[in-house]
Amino acid sequence: MFRASALLALMLGSASVLAQAPLQARPADVQAITDASARDVAALIAQPGFADAARSALRAAPERGVALQQVVARFDPQARTVASSSVARQDGQLRLRKGLPEQGPALLQLRAYVPEGASLDAIAPRQLWVASLPRGNDRDWTTLTAYDAQGRAHLLDAKQAPDFPVLIVDVDTRRSVAEGMALVNAGLRERGLQSPERISIAANGASASLDITRLDRIRLADDQEPWALGAAEVFAVVSGLQVDKTEPELVTVDMPYLDYDNTDYTPQQALVIWGNYRFNAANVQLFEDDGDTNYQELLVALTTGVKTALGVFAPEYAVIADIAGAILNAMPSSWFANDIDYLDSFYLLQRGQAYTDRMGAANNAKVTLTPITLVE
């Protein structure tokens, strides 16, 4: 996908930035947690019943994956206590590392890469390998590590898919993005970057009609990602000026259907809810959570960073595009070391305007947008 130009991230934070995960208590990074879990799962495969539990849980949709805790729950009851305790501990570490409360839905998932014509059921349990995803930009991956039931590490080619099934332990980004977007939006409201009178489709009883811009079609460019990566999890940041205050108006929008590149999706999703944006203009920027996103850091970036970048400003039309630039400048710099994190930008979308096959500024996303009015 689009490789963002070098953008200097603003200095983020004070000692209170990560209230839920103090710096001195932060766990290992996401890759270290998933790698440790992969080694634990490989060891469990040597125990009777675990491989059957994994294959049963994955049979319906191996590429989508299931919660690792769900697999453990199917496992031999005599060993379940120790195994579930380890998984629960690692899940808690992962949630803290992603800026989410330690207690909550499981985020560690087990999925499988299964070549065409192959089957998980045809592989003897002790021949199953369990991999985790490497660190860094996936374009730079050359190998990834998989573990066998004896604890031995094997290197797999990151570009050339194996001709046998491989289990993969990683982050359930669909679940984490949904929870993370709720956390970020709540934080934006608390910090004054989302109007307390913000209009929403769910709570619009006072209005006789509601103008929205609906996302009818979207397609992302093909980036030839490695075989081991699962479905993407994309979200949008919609931004503009607040109607009654000299403040930016920001909201994050989850796009859970947008799984793969080079594929057309027709979600008919309400993307921009007008009445929330001065001058009837807004920006839409697309980002992907590759599993490493810390939502507390994202919230700080969208509040402290954007406010610092804009400073004191007059509520003029030209400022709307500046807000989108401030969002990019405020994002954690690590997001631009991996070119799949920032996807594209659509600047100064207008109320009542239809857009057919409009390309984003980065030529990575193509959208069709339709203005409609919802009547009560």
Region at 168 (left for phi over 0; alpha for psi -120 to 50; beta for the rest): beta
DSSP state of 93: H
The reported pLDDT for the residue numbered 6 is 27
Which spans in the chain are helix H? 30-45, 50-58, 68-74, 77-97, 173-190, 295-300, 306-310, 319-330
Calpha distance 110→118 (Å, rounded): 18
Whether 2 shows a pLDDT value over 70: the answer reads no
- For 7-21, 35-49, 68-82, 321-335, which range has the lowest pLDDT when averaged over its residues? 7-21
The pLDDT > 70 percentage for the chain reads 86
- For 16-20, 171-175, 179-183, 264-268, which range has the lowest pLDDT when averaged over its residues? 16-20
Calpha distance 294→176 (Å, rounded): 10
The reported pLDDT for the residue numbered 78 is 58
Whether 306 shows a pLDDT value over 60: the answer reads yes
Confidence of residue 1 (pLDDT cuts 50, 70, 90): very low
The reported pLDDT for the residue numbered 333 is 66
Calpha distance 30→23 (Å, rounded): 15
pTM greater than 0.75 (yes/no): yes
Whether 248 shows a pLDDT value over 90: the answer reads yes
The reported pLDDT for the residue numbered 185 is 96
Helix axes 30-45, 50-58, angle to 10 degrees: 120
Beta carbons of 165 and 173 less than 8 angstroms apart: no
Confidence of residue 208 (pLDDT cuts 50, 70, 90): low
The reported pLDDT for the residue numbered 138 is 77
The reported pLDDT for the residue numbered 207 is 53
Calpha distance 323→309 (Å, rounded): 9
Q: How does strand 153-157 pair with strand 342-350?
A: unpaired
pLDDT one-digit tens code per residue, 189-205:
999 999 988 888 765 44
The pLDDT of 241-256, averaged and rounded, is 94
The reported pLDDT for the residue numbered 22 is 33
The reported pLDDT for the residue numbered 336 is 58
pLDDT one-digit tens code per residue, 138-147:
778 899 999 9
